[in-house]
Amino acid sequence: MYELLCRSSERPWAPQPEKLVALPDRGASKPLILHMQENRSHLTQEARVCFSVIALLFVATSIGPALHGHWLVPAFSILAMAGLTFALERHCKSRPASETLELAEGRVRHRDSAGQQIELPSFWMRLATEDRSPSDLRLFLRGRDGSIEFGRCLSLEERRAVAPLVAAALAQTRRC
């Protein structure tokens, strides 16, 4: 998921940017802040059904060997389901990946949840996309001083929606 934010020209020092639509349009360029975060919604009904079917298959395939005295098969099935449940719980409790891309004052700033920060001048930057397959899209801001890959935590549809927004904001930043 992504959110468009903006620092007000009257309050550029504000720690929390405001929503882009909340700012009045004064004709001046608005610095764009694109906050992107991995979607961590709860399991859908289909995913819960799939998880239940996997558990049922583990139980069903371990009944026959258990009746013949092979007790390691049901023990393995129980450990496998416990491992899957533990992995799902750990994933839900971990912090989702996030990125922030800021296009303002002739600069491009990119921060990710790992703590890496890149700042480059926007004058030579251009938006580049890599379509390796119909289900894979990578977004880059490339310039002579370096390259920034952004949108890694977004879904394919969100990357397609964000690309024209970033291109327009980059063009506006270059004009300033």
Q: Give 10-residue mean pLDDT values along the chain (176 residues).
A: 67 49 50 83 80 88 89 90 87 86 86 90 88 87 90 89 88 75
Cβ count near 143 (within 10 Å): 16
Per-residue confidence (pLDDT) for residue 23, from 0 to 100:
42
Q: What letter represents residue 30's amino acid?
A: K
The pLDDT of residue 132 is 83
Nearest to 127 by CA among 98, 96, 159: 159
Residue 14: per-residue pLDDT:
46
Cα 56 to Cα 61: distance, rounded to the nearest angstrom: 9
Report d(CA 103, CA 121) in Å as an integer: 10
Give residue 26's pLDDT. Answer: 47
Predicted local confidence at residue 30, as pLDDT: 64
**Full-model pTM:** 0.66
Instruction: Report the C-alpha gap between 98 and 80 in whole angstroms.
Output: 31
Q: What is the C-alpha separation between 125 and 26, in angstroms, rounded?
A: 26
Cα 128 to Cα 156: distance, rounded to the nearest angstrom: 15
